[in-house]
A and B are shown apart, each in its own frame.
Chain A
Amino acid sequence: MNAFVDARAVPAGTILEPDLAIVGGGPVGITLALALAHTPLRIMLFESGGMDFDPATQALYAGTNAGVRYLPLDASRMRYLGGSTNHWGGWCRPLDPIDFEKRDWVAHSGWPFGIETLKPYFARAQSLIEAGLWKYDGATPQMAALAPLLKLGDGGVYTSWFQFSKTRGDVLPTHFGTRYADDLKRIPNLRLYLHANATALKLSPNAAGIAAIEIATLNKKAITVRPRMAVLAMGAVENARLMLASNDVEAAGVGNRNDLVGRYFADHPIPRDTATLVSFAGDIPGYYFNPAVFGATLIRATFAPTDEFKRTHRVLGSLTTVESPVELGELDKAAVVTAALAVGADASNAKAFSLGCGLELEPDPERRLTLTDQRDALGLPRLKLTNRVSDSDFQRYRDTIKELGRQLLTAGSGMIRLNNATRAAWEGALDWGDHHLGTTRMHVDPKQGVVDADLRVHGMSNLFVAGSGAFPTYSASNPTLNLLALTLRLADHLRTALR
């Protein structure tokens, strides 16, 4: 067993020379280390935090926010081993095939490859997340056999399925730091440093690669890392911050010749009580409200637009969930009676439920991270997030939910009320998924992306940026499963590149 190294105890001035430096010990960094275990590569992983939450380390994340309301930057992620899996909800769903396409109604859309490229990696990612057997949309017949689905008429919305990182004792869901600590210690070719903060990327004289990574600790120790290759795995916010702040050779920062680093920031807006669903028959199956245990799998229903509907109605991804029962007013009851009678349904036992959702945003270069004049305890500039959501993002979701309402009435099973009619109502109901995306977007063209299809920073020979920051478009699916698949693909690439 290789015990983790406390960087605070490493002699100042130490120089480390691994084949591969992984900066960040969240799900991406841990997955990469696990995937490259037992190879001839000498790997070092540098994690800012320790094994538990520490306020002084967490405070390094603090920044400022502008624009549409968003969580403080030090509240929407976790800075210790395991990263943001230390507070995630365990929701999993693969990207849809259309998410990879260039869509003429979605500006800046298109991945460098299709879903087929990621598919070989989903099974391993699913296993690492411990989300059980791969079911997702294949679960429909079995779940319907347990309890009939809410009937939908033909149309653009269908019943899809989330799966969840499973319960293991009192750990729900899988926290990568605690879950994989012993596995990481057993990797003979890995040294994992805790309390080790990357503070600068030092470019080679010709700026075609990185020569070193500066590591600092909160007790003022400095370590220099000179890797053959390096992967930034600190999350979409912190990766961008380090690249922007490493500006001693190139004024715009590392990998930022085309002013793209930190732009296209995205998350999944989660407006609460976005609509009300009435089931004419009354109760609906529990798997709409909560994850249902199905074999070794936790699974929950969601309403999703089909790829075809997205195409024909020019909408974006969304995943709508049933949340909780609600009471109706007099007008609402009148609307239910009137509509139910018109479609020949019996609404005498009808019940109403609040709907929540997660939305895909259209990529927006002005929704971005920039450096400020403020500095953290290690001297790194703090970030400002400028957050925006366009009216069309909300309208597209409205169109999807309206379609769901049409399908419910067509089936005679229920109906929908749209609850947010104004921009102010949408913003008032807005919460966020804490899924940081897009800031180091992937594109084959350096003028349109920070990293290439292999996650290598354009123009840099030995620097890679992993994680959901590379997603050019965001889907509505939760990112963890998908970013792990992307990471496993990167591991394959590095295995060859470092040979």
Chain B
Amino acid sequence: MSERRSFSRRAVTIGGGIALALGLGALGLSVPSLLRKRYRASAYDDLLDDLVDRDAAIKVGAAFRAQTAAKPEPQALGKALRHRLERRTLADVTGSDLAQSRMLEVKGWVMPETLVLLSVLASEES
């Protein structure tokens, strides 16, 4: 009985995961990293933890680095981002970027500046 309940919970968990993955699959979007991956420790985990899907952000950051001649130095970038995100959520800062038209292009995608820079940091630290 107990075994069956345990099996049943596992089935539900797996089923839920599949359903979520299928839901995200409308565009073939990746499954959020929290379901499947841990990252090596970074001095910027306090910042990078704001990224709900760090795998996706790493791709964005790598693409931005590839298109940009000037390579940001992680320490300086981390310091600048800490300053921006001090006592503010990423959503707040993103909202400010949007309100003030602080946007960057990543292979044509128009994205809030802080989000792109955070993605660059994630890419540097991956």
Residues of B near A59 (CB, < 8 A) are: none
Option from A282, A338, A403, A418 in Cβ contact (under 8 Å) with B108? A418
CB distance B108 to A334 under 8 Å? Answer: no
Q: Is B121 in the interface zone, CB < 8 Å from A?
A: no
Q: Which of B9-17, B24-32, B38-46 forms part of the interface with chain A?
A: B24-32
Option from A282, A338, A339 in Cβ contact (under 8 Å) with B26? A282
Q: Which of A122-130, A213-221, A349-357 forms part of the interface with chain B?
A: A349-357
Q: Is A135 in the interface zone, CB < 8 Å from B?
A: no
Q: Is A344 in the interface zone, CB < 8 Å from B?
A: yes
Q: Is A328 in the interface zone, CB < 8 Å from B?
A: yes
Most central of A275, A332, A338 by chain B CB within 10 Å: A338
Chain A, 405-421, CB within 8 A of any chain B CB: 405-406, 409-410, 415-419, 421
A358 to chain B, nearest CB (A): 21
> A397-408 vs B: 1/0 string, CB under 8 Å?
000001101100
Q: Is A457 in the interface zone, CB < 8 Å from B?
A: no
CB distance B60 to A335 under 8 Å? Answer: yes
Given the interface contacts A331-B63, A406-B103, does A338 sit within 8 Å of B119 by beta carbon? yes
By the criterion of a CB under 8 Å from any partner CB, how many residues of chain A are at the interface? 37
Q: Is B85 in the interface zone, CB < 8 Å from A?
A: no
CB distance A406 to B98 under 8 Å? Answer: yes
CB distance B29 to A337 under 8 Å? Answer: yes
CB distance A406 to B29 under 8 Å? Answer: no
Pair count A-B, CB < 8 A: 109
CB distance B112 to A409 under 8 Å? Answer: yes
Complex: A342 Cα to B59 Cα, angstroms = 15
- Name which residue of chain B comes closest to A339, CB basis: B111
- Name which residue of chain B comes closest to A337, CB basis: B56
Given the interface contacts A331-B59, A338-B56, A406-B101, does A417 sit within 8 Å of B107 by beta carbon? yes
B100 to chain A, nearest CB (A): 10
CB distance B110 to A343 under 8 Å? Answer: no
> B31-60 vs A: 1/0 string, CB under 8 Å?
000000000000000000001110111011
A423 to chain B, nearest CB (A): 15
Q: Is B72 in the interface zone, CB < 8 Å from A?
A: no
Given the interface contacts A348-B23, A406-B103, does A339 sit within 8 Å of B29 by beta carbon? no
Residues of A near B24 (CB, < 8 A) are: 347-348
Given the interface contacts A331-B59, A406-B101, does A336 sit within 8 Å of B26 by beta carbon? no
Option from A276, A337, A342, A350 in Cβ contact (under 8 Å) with B90? A342
Q: Is B106 in the interface zone, CB < 8 Å from A?
A: yes
Complex: A350 Cα to B30 Cα, angstroms = 13
A279 to chain B, nearest CB (A): 11
CB distance B119 to A421 under 8 Å? Answer: no
Complex: A405 Cα to B110 Cα, angstroms = 6
CB distance A415 to B111 under 8 Å? Answer: yes
Residues of B near A351 (CB, < 8 A) are: 26-27
Given the interface contacts A336-B29, A337-B30, A342-B91, does A331 sit within 8 Å of B107 by beta carbon? yes
B41 to chain A, nearest CB (A): 22
CB distance B27 to A350 under 8 Å? Answer: yes
CB distance A419 to B98 under 8 Å? Answer: no
CB distance A417 to B112 under 8 Å? Answer: no
Option from A153, A328, A342 in Cβ contact (under 8 Å) with B94? A342
Residues of A near B98 (CB, < 8 A) are: 153, 343, 406, 409-410
Q: Is B105 in the interface zone, CB < 8 Å from A?
A: yes
Residues of A near B103 (CB, < 8 A) are: 402, 405-406
CB distance B115 to A352 under 8 Å? Answer: no
B66 to chain A, nearest CB (A): 10
CB distance B53 to A335 under 8 Å? Answer: no
CB distance A418 to B105 under 8 Å? Answer: yes
Option from B28, B101, B109 in Cβ contact (under 8 Å) with A335? B109
Given the interface contacts A410-B98, A418-B108, does A338 sit within 8 Å of B57 by beta carbon? yes
Residues of A near B53 (CB, < 8 A) are: 337-338, 341
Q: Is A333 in the interface zone, CB < 8 Å from B?
A: yes
Complex: A283 Cα to B29 Cα, angstroms = 16
Residues of A near B76 (CB, < 8 A) are: none
CB distance A333 to B28 under 8 Å? Answer: yes
> A296-321 vs B: 1/0 string, CB under 8 Å?
00000000000000000000000000
Q: Is A104 in the interface zone, CB < 8 Å from B?
A: no
Option from A153, A334, A337, A415 in Cβ contact (under 8 Å) with B110? A415
- Name which residue of chain B comes closest to A421, CB basis: B108
Residues of A near B70 (CB, < 8 A) are: none
Chain A, 441-462, CB within 8 A of any chain B CB: none
Chain B, 73-126, CB within 8 A of any chain A CB: 90-91, 94-95, 98-99, 101, 103, 105-112, 115, 119
Given the interface contacts A343-B91, A405-B103, does A338 sit within 8 Å of B60 by beta carbon? yes
- Name which residue of chain A comes closest to B100, CB basis: A406
Residues of A near B51 (CB, < 8 A) are: 338, 341
Given the interface contacts A335-B111, A339-B112, does A410 sit within 8 Å of B99 by beta carbon? yes
Instruction: Give the 10 A-B residue pairs with the shortest CB-CB distance, closest first.
Output: A405-B110, A334-B59, A334-B56, A335-B109, A337-B56, A417-B108, A341-B52, A348-B23, A418-B108, A410-B98
Question: Could you name 7 residue pairs across A and B whose Cβ atoms are closer than 8 Å?
Answer: A282-B26, A338-B115, A342-B91, A347-B27, A405-B110, A406-B101, A417-B110
Besides A341-B52, A342-B115, 10 other A-B contacts (C-beta < 8 A): A282-B26, A331-B59, A334-B30, A337-B29, A337-B53, A338-B57, A339-B111, A403-B101, A409-B98, A418-B105
